[in-house]
Structure formats: C-alpha cells, structure tokens
Amino acid sequence: MPEHIRPFRPADLAAGYAISLATGFEGGDAAHLYRDPKMMGHIYFAPYALLAPALAFVVEDDEGVAGFAVGAADTVAWEERLEREWWPALREQYADTANVPPADRTPDQRRAFMIHHPSKTPAALTGSHPVHLHMNLLPRVQGRSLGSKLLGVWLDALGPRSVHVGVNRANTGGARFWTARDFVELPVPSERTLWMGRAFSASIQTN
C-alpha cells in the first residue's frame, strides 16, 4: 500500500503513542529514557486525537501508521479544556513530583510534573499565532515530502489562521523542517523551546 494521509481513527491511538515515544528525544527515539512509554503521548498526542479529532491526521504505509499531525485552533481555549477534560484523570494516575528538585527529576517525573502543573503558552504567541500543532514522523517516512503533504492537509482542515509550533532547541533537524516550510523564529524567549510561527498567507514548500 502506498503512503497516504487520512483522518485519525480510534484504532490509531496506540500507534500515536508509540510514535510520540519514538520521536520524543530531540526528534529521535526516547524509549530508553522512559519507564512509562505513554508519558509523551499523554501530553503531545492523545488529548488532541481524542478531544479534537477534526484536526488529527495520520500518515499510513504498508507497515501501519507512521506519523501524525494534531493541534488546536485556539490555544488558550484548548489549555482551558485540558484542565477540565484531560488532566484530572491523569493526575489521579500519576503522582505530583513537585517535591522532587527539578534537576533530580527523571524524564517520567518531569512529564508527571507537566501533567500536574502544565505551563501556559506565552500570550505573545497566542495573540499573534493562536493556533498550534504537533507533527511527528517515523524515520521510515521522513525525507519523502510526506511532512509537507501532511502539513498541507492539516492546514487545509484548519482554514486561514496563523499557527505556531514549539521545537526543542536541540532538535536542529526539526527546526530546519519548519524553516523550509515558511515558519520563522518568533521573539519569545525560552531556554529550551524555539518558538516558530507561520502567517496564514505564507505558502508551503512541498519539496
């Protein structure tokens, strides 16, 4: 079966969790870092796929689901919705690690802290670029224009809105990907995250 892009289906949930882990360390595999393989997906994939499926798409090839794009059209409203509908159940499942010094937290503990104390997206971003997305592709489908095609499908579903992404500063390949697709660095200071945005009027490169 040739690669194709389609809307998310509930049966894709496990694959999305696995992709989140396989791309969760500076764009590469994070499986060696986490005891709980679902920690990354709990934050960056599952809530979007389950609560906002209209903006959830996957790449599928003959081996199965190999990538996804998910996001929210209103970041501020989305963060409020997560407080009501997503974090409470996870907070019952994972203990708050606020009592562990940040420098001593394991990767699992850092994610548990995020579940209990999610950071708000800076207003400087949500004011000018209210939309955000997460997109992850497994290595087997990278470098074949599927990222551009997936982004194009996602933006078509979104409509003409300005969008932002957050990229780990150590993930230089990810930053190059977004730069090549008309995302530019936004002047929002962050030690770990490179914030990048794309105005809705910009064109997408497909190569």
Q: What is the pLDDT averaged over residues 23-32?
A: 90
204, pLDDT greater than 60: no
81, pLDDT greater than 70: yes
Q: What is the pLDDT averaged over residues 49-63?
A: 96
Q: What is the pLDDT of residue 1?
A: 62
Q: What is the pLDDT of residue 27?
A: 83
Q: How many angstroms separate the Cα of 32 from the Cα of each of 16, 41, 61?
A: 18, 15, 26
Domain ranges (residues) in the chain: 4-198
Q: What is the pLDDT of residue 200?
A: 78
Q: What is the CA radius of gyration of the chain?
A: 16
**Residues in contact with 89: Cβ distance below 8 Å, sequence separation at least 6, in sequence order:** none
Assigned token pair, 110: 């850092």
Q: What is the pLDDT of residue 145?
A: 84
pTM of the predicted model as reported, rounded to 2 decimal places: 0.92
202, pLDDT greater than 60: no
Q: What is the pLDDT of residue 201?
A: 59
CATH code: domain 4-198 is 3.40.630.30
Mean pLDDT of the chain: 92
51, pLDDT greater than 70: yes
| Closest to 131 measured CA to CA, from 175, 97, 165 | 165
Chain center to CA of 33: 18
Q: Rounded to whole angstroms, how far apart are CA atoms 146 and 3?
A: 8
If one counts every other C-beta atom within 10 angstroms of the C-beta of residue 93, the result is 11
**Across 40-108, where does the E strand assignment appear?**
56-61, 64-72
Scan for tokens 């409203």, then name that residue. Answer: 77
Nearest-5° Cα angle at 164, 169 to 191 = 30
Chain center to CA of 123: 19
Q: For 109-145, what is each residue's pLDDT tens digit?
A: 999 999 999 999 999 899 999 999 999 999 888 878 8
